[in-house]
Structure 1
């Protein structure tokens, strides 16, 4: 399984709800086991710069690629890009543990 995590900062903190609303379309795209869009609770004691989190779980690379190629995904990029400052993304295989060992 592949986990897909994207973190956003807003140019204007007053626009965070609008960013969430515009990203929420991602939850309707097929291909993912689970896709969530949420406001960061900002309870970390060291850093709370991130405003919005997108979390997704996909069975494999093919499903993740199909999700990213979907027209609604492309539309969300177009609608959110003007409102966000930074975007960080990470995809990782959960069949690999923290030491890099593969699980069967």
Structure 2
């Protein structure tokens, strides 16, 4: 299994629900996507980012199929316009 975590800080944190909706549209894009969860900053709780994606893929081949998927790439382009920074961590779990 491969865990794929992406954290975004946004230029305007008010765009977090829009970014969440965009990311949620990527759920189940490819075979081998096991888990897919998007969270946004919760008022009153500690956070160093505005939006986080936590997903799990059955293997690296499934993650490699997800990354270039046309819908995923369209979402990436839209989020890139709203993001101030992005941090990614992929690891075996």
Normalized against structure 2, the TM-score is what? 0.88
CA distance in 2, matches of 1:26, 1:40: 20
RMSD across aligned positions (CA): 1.3
* Structure 2 partner of 1:34: 35
CA distance in 1, matches of 2:12, 2:51: 12
Contact 1:34 1:57 in 2 (8 A): yes
The runs of 5 or more residues in structure 1 that have no matched partner are: 95-104
* Structure 2 partner of 1:102: none
Structure number with greater Rg is 1
Any runs of at least 4 consecutive aligned residues in structure 1 with deviations exceeding 3 A, and if so which? none
The runs of 5 or more residues in structure 2 that have no matched partner are: none
CA distance in 2, matches of 1:81, 1:18: 13
Give the number of equivalent residue pairs. Answer: 91
Normalized against structure 1, the TM-score is what? 0.80
* Structure 2 partner of 1:82: 81
| TM superposition shift of 1:22 | 1.6
| TM superposition shift of 1:67 | 0.8
